[in-house]
């Protein structure tokens, strides 16, 4: 790679400061790259729904040096109760049975807690953060990438990486509209906070009828629960997440005669300050890079929350992408190697979302509701979820991480000059 602005191993602009962005920034910084992260939110967002770090991703966290902190944040979810329209419990499953989590090793923690740990770790290095800003346009001339920011700034980088999630701006600018890569899995979801007056603790509760599911989930003994109202629909309502009124109407219509606590959830949704609505979709792209621009995490290969593997793929992808960039001079060769290593892992994990997880959490038809009830009855009778769980566990761990220590030896001691000497040192937070 060409020399970067500060004479180190090259300059990299990363769009997005959630999981993939700070994880990638951490490794690139250690390898001696000059790293800038641009994030359109005013800060790294804390809190949020629980996510999982499993299998190979636990190895990445260990190499990142964050395993003790990540383990300390484990929320230890124990069970999910399934209820009928009258609130009668029809079955209970330990969460690890459904997800294939390896007890004592895999970790579940709030998304914001992991993002904050990763962010804090990069702040001790030389990574520059530009909050409240985003990329307006990109021009890749083959020897570098010119980036124009919403703030009006203009900078040149050796490489630009989109780690900006399911609706990635970098993907849209470089690869084109989202619709061509988005594979809709047939569901929409609303997620929002409401008071924990259902007595939930270390777990959740779920009520499903054909094509619609409601529920709530307590992180440990939290005073608030994360409530959800999910529904099946054949046509993905692209753009529906922009119009909140439309979301409310659509969800209220679908759940109009819902049992259990649905009327209360609908009311809470109407007043929620943190309502998040989206489709359940995967991103599947024929290539994750073009010249000097590449994508990582949900931007490149979102597997959807039905797989529960989005965070793990983002962490592993960031580790491999940084390692390959550190190992080769030509970024396009690094991108090819990154994709060769990651693609089989990504595809196997994406397939988990379409192998029945939907029918457990969100049965689409009466037959799927009955099938789910049979699974619950069999479990109550002492049968585990066996093959399904074991398969997921194998897939979570199927990638043996490459060892990029040579990159560390070559680049680890290289550091950019002091932050104030840097061009465009508009970082607001270090």
In the list 4, 204, 258, 310, the residue contacting ligand FAD (rule: CB under 6 A) is 310
CB of 309 to ligand FAD, least distance (A): 5
- Cα dihedral 289, 294, 299, 302 sign: positive
In the list 100, 165, 204, 236, the residue contacting ligand FAD (rule: CB under 6 A) is 165
Name the pairing type of β-strands 128-131 and 34-39: parallel
d(C-alpha 183, C-alpha 170), whole Å: 18
Residue among 39 and 140 whose Cβ is closer to ligand FAD: 39
In the list 145, 225, 314, 316, the residue contacting ligand FAD (rule: CB under 6 A) is 314
Which burial class, exposed, middle or buried, applies to 356 when counting CB atoms under 10 A from its CB (0-12, 13-18, 19+)?
middle
Verify binding: residue 295, ligand FAD, rule CB under 6 A: no
d(C-alpha 116, C-alpha 374), whole Å: 41
User: How many positions of this chain bind ligand FAD (CB under 6 A)?
Assistant: 34
Q: Which of 280, 300, 420, 241 has the alpha carbon at shortest distance from 16?
A: 300
Q: Which of 112, 166, 98, 161 has the alpha carbon at shortest distance from 304?
A: 166
Residue among 140 and 298 whose Cβ is closer to ligand FAD: 298
Q: Which two tokens stand for residue 203?
A: 């777990």
In the list 1, 5, 25, 52, the residue contacting ligand FAD (rule: CB under 6 A) is 52
Choices 44-52, 137-145, 262-270, 326-334; region in contact with ligand FAD by CB under 6 A? 44-52
In the list 157, 305, 345, 404, the residue contacting ligand FAD (rule: CB under 6 A) is 305
In the list 309, 350, 359, 397, the residue contacting ligand FAD (rule: CB under 6 A) is 309
Contact letters for ligand FAD, residues 181-210 (x by CB under 6 A): ----------x-------------------
Helices (H), 216-330: 244-254, 262-271, 298-301, 310-327
End-to-end, the C-alpha distance of the chain in Å comes to 26
Residue among 34 and 52 whose Cβ is closer to ligand FAD: 52
Name the pairing type of β-strands 154-157 and 145-149: antiparallel
DSSP character for 143? S
Query: Which residues sit at the interface with ligand FAD, rule CB under 6 A?
Result: 15-21, 38-41, 49-52, 111, 134, 163-166, 169, 191, 297-299, 302, 305, 308-312, 314
């Amino acid at each position: 790679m060409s020399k970067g602005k500060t004479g180190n191993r090259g300059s990299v602009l990363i769009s997005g400061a959630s999981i993939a962005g700070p994880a990638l920034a951490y490794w690139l910084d250690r390898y001696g790259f000059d790293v800038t992260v641009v994030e359109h939110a005013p800060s790294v967002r804390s809190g949020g729904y629980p996510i999982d770090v499993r299998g190979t991703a636990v190895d990445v966290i260990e190499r990142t040096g964050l395993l003790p902190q990540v383990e300390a944040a484990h929320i230890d979810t124990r069970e999910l109760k399934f209820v009928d329209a009258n609130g009668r419990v029809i079955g209970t499953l330990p969460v690890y049975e459904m997800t294939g989590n390896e007890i004592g090793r895999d970790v579940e923690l709030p998304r914001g807690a992991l993002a904050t740990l990763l962010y804090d770790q990069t702040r001790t290095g030389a990574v520059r953060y530009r909050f409240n800003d985003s990329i307006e346009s990109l021009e890749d001339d083959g020897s570098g990438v010119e980036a124009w920011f919403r703030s009006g700034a203009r900078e040149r980088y050796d490489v630009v990486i989109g780690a900006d999630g399911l609706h990635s701006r970098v993907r849209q600018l470089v690869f084109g509209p989202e619709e061509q890569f988005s594979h809709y899995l047939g569901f929409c979801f609303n997620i929002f906070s409401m008071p924990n007056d259902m007595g939930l603790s270390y777990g959740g509760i779920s009520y499903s009828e054909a094509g619609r599911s409601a529920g709530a989930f307590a992180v440990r003994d939290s005073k608030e629960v994360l409530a959800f109202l999910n529904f099946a629909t054949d046509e993905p309502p692209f753009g529906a997440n922009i119009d909140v009124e439309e979301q409310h109407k659509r969800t209220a219509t679908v759940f109009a005669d819902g049992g259990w606590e649905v009327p209360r959830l609908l009311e809470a949704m109407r007043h929620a300050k943190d309502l998040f609505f989206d489709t359940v979709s995967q991103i599947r792209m024929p290539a994750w890079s073009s010249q000097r621009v590449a994508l990582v995490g949900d931007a490149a290969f979102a597997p959807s929350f039905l797989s529960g593997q989005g965070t793990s793929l983002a962490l592993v992808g960031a580790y491999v992408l940084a390692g390959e960039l550190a190992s080769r001079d030509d970024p396009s060769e690094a991108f090819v190697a990154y994709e060769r290593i990651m693609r089989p892992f990504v595809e196997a994990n994406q397939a988990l979302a379409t192998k029945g997880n939907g029918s457990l959490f969100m049965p689409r038809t009466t037959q799927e509701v009955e099938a789910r009830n049979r699974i619950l009855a069999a479990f109550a009778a002492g049968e585990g979820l066996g093959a399904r769980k074991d398969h997921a566990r194998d897939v979570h761990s199927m990638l043996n991480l490459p060892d990029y220590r040579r990159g560390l030896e070559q680049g680890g001691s290289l550091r950019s000059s002091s932050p104030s000497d840097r061009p465009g040192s508009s970082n607001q937070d270090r």
